[in-house]
Amino acid sequence: DIQMTQSPSSLSASVGDRVTITCRASQSISSYLNWYQQKPGKAPKLLIYAASSLQSGVPSRFSGSGSGTDFTLTISSLQPEDFATYYCQQSYSSFTFGPGTKVDIK
Amino acid sequence: EVQLVESGGGLVQPGGSLRLSCAASGFTVSSNYMSWVRQAPGKGLEWVSVIYSGGSTYYADSVKGRFTISRDNSKNTLYLQMNSLRAEDTAVYYCANSPTDAFDIWGQGTMVTVSS
């Protein structure tokens, strides 16, 4: 089974900050990596699919990169509505989510 | 508008059964693969099961042999039959649609509580 890790597990940031979240797979998953945002009490929302493709309607301040085992989600300028938990997820072999990264207000 | 609406959650005793439904609108449930994903209280996301457009089904090891995913194309609805429920199955259960190779569209979730 493919295991996913994320770092950091949580971070505090200010509006306007550049934020980077890292996701690592236990084996190569090519570009079969997706990123989700989840706010309390709400369903997750797809942000990035296939490692770097921006889902329709998602602001361009979100971007994804990487391939193989190492991936990054970047928020170029953090906005108040971006405070949430972010999950990576692989779809290369079955499906596995990372443990999540909580982004809160500094 | 593409939408998924789950129902069927509730309180059930350990060892009991429950069937979740996920009604789709704006697309057909057989056109893409569809999954169930759950989230225990205060925890992360866990994939549970998938049904592909061709009908193949797969399960997480934690539910294999106890849960069954199915769909009714005439009702455009996805199901999850859950048997032999355990306390650790307590979670919000989401259905999700995958026109790309990701979980693009999610329902609002339905809570399942397994407790005596």
Answer whether A43 sits within 8 Å of B106, measured CB to CB.
yes
In chain B, what percentage of residues exceed pLDDT 90?
A: 96
Which pLDDT belongs to residue A92? 97
The verdict on B106 touching A (C-beta cutoff 8 Å) is yes
Q: Does pLDDT of B95 surpass 90?
A: yes
| Pairing of β B3-7 and β A101-105 | unpaired
Among chain A residues, the shortest Cα distance to B106 is held by A43
Paired tokens of A61: 């301040």
Which pLDDT belongs to residue A79? 96
User: Residue written as tokens 């697309």?
Assistant: B27
DSSP state of B31: S
Point out the least confidently predicted range of A40-44, A74-78, B59-63, B99-103: B99-103
Paired tokens of B8: 């069927």
Question: Number of helices (H) and strands (E), helices first, in chain B?
Answer: 0, 11
**Measured between alpha carbons, how far is B78 from B48 in angstroms, rounded to an integer?**
14
Omega into A80 within 30° of 0, i.e. cis? no
Contact predicate B102/A49, CB 8 Å: yes
The pLDDT tens digits for B46-91 are 999 999 999 999 999 999 999 999 999 999 999 999 999 999 999 9
The verdict on A44 touching B (C-beta cutoff 8 Å) is yes
Which pLDDT belongs to residue A71? 98
Among chain A residues, the shortest Cα distance to B43 is held by A99
Answer whether B44 sits within 8 Å of A50, measured CB to CB.
no
The verdict on A6 touching B (C-beta cutoff 8 Å) is no
Contact predicate A88/A33, CB 8 Å: yes
Residue A38: band (very low, low, confident or very high) from pLDDT cuts 50, 70, 90? very high
Test mutation, B103, B105, B106, B108, chain A, max A CBs within 10 A: B103
From A91, A105, A93, select the one nearest A46 (Cα to Cα).
A91
Residue B99: band (very low, low, confident or very high) from pLDDT cuts 50, 70, 90? confident
State mean pLDDT over B18-35.
Answer: 96
Instruction: Report residue B109 CA to chain centroid gap.
Output: 9
Which segments of A2-98 are extended strands (E)?
4-7, 10-13, 19-25, 33-38, 45-49, 53-54, 62-67, 70-75, 85-90, 96-97
Which pLDDT belongs to residue B100? 86
Q: H or E segment at B5?
A: strand B3-7
Beta carbon pairs, A and B, within 8 Å: 53
> What is the average pLDDT score of chain B?
97
Which pLDDT belongs to residue A61? 98
State mean pLDDT over B3-29.
Answer: 97
Distances (CA, A) of B14 to A97, B21, B55, B59, B116: 27, 20, 30, 20, 7
Among chain A residues, the shortest Cα distance to B111 is held by A41
State mean pLDDT over B36-43.
Answer: 98
Which pLDDT belongs to residue A27? 98
Which residue of B45, B94, B104 is in closest CB contact with A46?
Answer: B104
From A79, A75, A27, A73, select the one nearest A49 (Cα to Cα).
A73
Among chain A residues, the shortest Cα distance to B52 is held by A94
Q: Does pLDDT of A36 surpass 90?
A: yes
Number of Cβ atoms within 10 Å of the Cβ of B65 = 9
